[in-house]
Amino acid sequence: SYHHLEILLINDGSTDGSLSICRQLAQKDSRVVVLSQKNSGASSARNCGLNHARGYWIVFVDSDDVVKVDYICHLVEAAILSRVDFVVSGLQYWDVATDTCSNKAYPKVLLRGEDLVLSFTLYRIYDNGGPCSKLYKGSILREHAITFNEDLHFAEDCDFMLKFMRHIDSMCFVADVDYVYRLLATSLSHRKLAVESEEACIHQLLDRFDELQQKFKNTPLCQFKAALIQYFLRLSSAVVNSDWNWTKKMSKLKQLQSELRSRYNHESYYSYRPYCLEERIHHFLLWYLPPACIVCYK
222 pLDDT more than 70: yes
Q: Which helix (H) or strand (E) holds 8?
A: strand 7-12
**CB–CB of 223/271 below 8 Å?**
yes
Residue 216 one-letter amino acid: F
Q: Say whether pLDDT at 206 is over 90.
A: yes
Biggest alpha carbon distance in the chain? 63
Max mean pLDDT among 108-117, 148-157, 240-249 falls in: 108-117
pLDDT at 261 over 70: yes
- In eight-state DSSP terms, residue 139 is H
Which pTM value belongs to this model? 0.89
Mean pLDDT of 276-289: 66
| Three-state SS at 94 | strand
**Are the beta carbons of 14 and 35 closer than 8 angstroms?**
no
Q: For residues 271 and 229, is the Cβ–Cβ distance under 8 A? A: no
Residue 30 has pLDDT above 80, yes or no: yes
Question: Does residue 94 carry a pLDDT above 70?
Answer: yes
Q: Is the pLDDT of residue 115 over 60?
A: yes
- What is the separation of C-alpha 137 from the centre of its chain, rounded to a whole number of angstroms? 17
Question: What backbone torsions phi and psi does residue 276 show, to the nearest 5 degrees?
Answer: -150, 165
Q: Could you read off the pLDDT of 58-92 as tens digits, one per residue? A: 999 999 899 999 999 999 999 999 999 999 999 99
Distance CA 236, CA 287 (A): 11
Per DSSP, 133 falls in state S
E strands, 55-167, in order: 57-58, 66-67, 86-88, 91-95, 100-104, 109-112, 134-137
Q: Which one has a higher pLDDT value, 298 or 158?
A: 158
pLDDT at residue 49 above 60?
A: yes
- Count of CB atoms situated within 10 Å of the CB of 28: 8
Displacement of CA 164 from its chain's centroid (Å) = 12
Query: Is residue 242 over pLDDT 80?
Result: yes
Across residues 37-50, what is the average pLDDT?
A: 96
pLDDT of residue 118: 96
